[in-house]
Amino acid sequence: MEKVLIGSDVILDLLFSREGVEDVAKLLSHCENRRLQGCISSVALAAVCSEVSAAVPFPEAAEKISQLLVFLETMECSREDMVIALNSEYPDFETSVNCTLAERCYSITAYITGRFADQQSRKPVLSAKDFLLRL
């Protein structure tokens, strides 16, 4: 089974019904049905929680996020991962951490995000739509 790391922007597209939500819903459906193993970093999860709880009461945000965690694996970030991320040339911290984790984890085949300036990663960086075209 293919394993992908999913960025916070992708999860937020779904939760806020933003452009591209259909592709994100299909991607996450593959994860929920165990045709694909989806992962989210603890840094991305914190970003999602912060954004969602700013829009709705925390109990509602926690419920939405808990539903995702039923089928998404969370990836821990070590101190070493953080140091590598802080010293990278990626445009933002979450991207730095996610690319560091994707590169460290041999089984991750792609990083799914909408941030395409991230192409310097050693792993493919794809939108949900582009990833689905590869399946």
pLDDT score recorded for residue 81: 94
pLDDT score of 22 more than 80: yes
Contact 133, 27 (CB under 8 A): no
**CB neighbourhood size of 90 (10 A):** 18
Mean pLDDT of 48-54: 96
**Which has more confidence, 90 or 51?**
51
What is the three-class DSSP state of 29?
helix
pLDDT (tens digit, 9 = 90+) per residue, 66-78? 999 999 999 989 9
Q: In degrees rounded to 5, what are phi and psi of residue 112?
A: -100, 115
pLDDT band at 20 (very low <50, low <70, confident <90, very high): confident
Tell me, what CATH number does 116's domain have? 3.40.50.1010
Is residue 21 within 8 A of residue 14, CB to CB? The reply is yes
Under DSSP, the state recorded for 92 is S
| Number of domains comprising the chain | 1
Q: What is the mean pLDDT of residues 70-92?
A: 92
* Domain span including residue 88: 3-133
d(CA 128, CA 83): 28
Q: How far apart are CA 96 and CA 55, in angstroms?
A: 26
Q: Model-level pTM? A: 0.92
What Rg do the C-alpha atoms of the chain give, in angstroms? Answer: 14
- Please give the Cα distance from 7 to 14 (Å, whole number): 12
Residue 7 has pLDDT above 60, yes or no: yes
